[in-house]
Amino acid sequence: MEIQTALGGDIAMALDECVPYPCEYDYAAQSAEMTTRWARRCKLKFEIKRQLFGIVQGATYRELREKSARTLVEMEFDGYAIGGVSVGEPESEMMSAIESSEPFLPPMRPRYAMGLGTPAQIVEMVARGVDMFDCVLPTRLARNGTAFTEIGTINLKNNPYRLDERPIEEECACATCRIFTRGYIRHLVKAEEIRGLRLVTIHNLHFYLNLMDRIRTSLDDGSFPSFRERFVANYVRHLAEI
């Protein structure tokens, strides 16, 4: 907590333990109890002049997550994170952990899924009531020459893009797509030129920010259900095909 204060961030996270997957019930229960004790200490014994979030834990066990969430809500944090997800579990288990936590968190406080996720996962978690996300995928995959598009990812190292004069994604307004072609970016990536990785990173970050903007717009105008259905179907279908 002292380090977070020194860093001057707007949001601070209470200390927690993120258990591995798979995790035995007894260990998950003991860990969740310890996380709760730590959360209480962070809340009661440390004055912090910024938003403080408690973190829901409980591994893949529904009753443990419900108990963790309810106890944290009683402490009245400024926001609530759902932790212990995306640690190697199947996607169905990940979504189940979200569904086991979010219903017990107050709707007027931010709900944050830690370390997630792919574009389709983000859309699905918004549908489950999640407000905030953080994820390394846009930059981690960019370092391997992988770019996000509306219908999935493409690996620009692959030979079909060698002479491709199209941008990474048609109609994308990012600084990369306005100027550079897939073929040129592939050349940079294959040559291990740092500029290639930066160009893919710029595109991927723009894609994620634009996705969140579209989600917010669809929520405001009431079209999110149709947006969700269309986006996830296109994205998942393309991934299945490749």
Which amino acid is residue 179, in one-letter code? I
- pLDDT value for 48: 65
Q: To which residue do tokens 């408690």 refer?
A: 54
Which residues have a Cβ under 8 Å from the Cβ of 160 and sit 6 or more positions away?
none
Confidence band of 241 (pLDDT split at 50, 70, 90):
very low
Three-class SS of residue 13? strand
Please work out, in degrees rounded to the nearest 5, the angle formed at the alpha carbon of residue 152 by the alpha carbons of 162 and 154: 15
How far apart, in whole angstroms, are the C-alpha atoms of residue 106 and residue 69?
Answer: 10
How far apart, in whole angstroms, are the C-alpha atoms of residue 125 and residue 129?
Answer: 6
- pLDDT value for 6: 85
Any idea which of 40-44, 102-106, 134-138, 161-165 has the lowest mean pLDDT? 40-44
pTM for the structure as a whole: 0.92
Distances (CA, A) of 156 to 151, 160, 171, 186: 15, 8, 18, 5
- pLDDT value for 49: 67
Q: What percent of the chain has pLDDT over 90?
A: 88
Any idea which of 4-18, 88-102, 122-136 has the lowest mean pLDDT? 4-18
How far apart, in whole angstroms, are the C-alpha atoms of residue 134 and residue 12?
Answer: 14
Q: What is the mean pLDDT of the chain?
A: 94
- Four-way CATH pick for 2-135: 3.30.70.1890, 3.20.20.105, 3.40.50.800, 1.25.40.10: 3.20.20.105
How far apart, in whole angstroms, are the C-alpha atoms of residue 197 and residue 66?
Answer: 42
Residue pair 136/117 in contact (Cβ under 8 Å)? The answer is no
133-148 mean pLDDT:
95
Quote the crossing angle between the two packed helices 194-221 and 182-190, to the nearest 10°: 130
Every domain of the chain and the residues it spans = 2-135, 138-241
Q: How far apart are the first and last CA of the chain?
A: 45
Q: To which residue do tokens 């994308």 refer?
A: 172
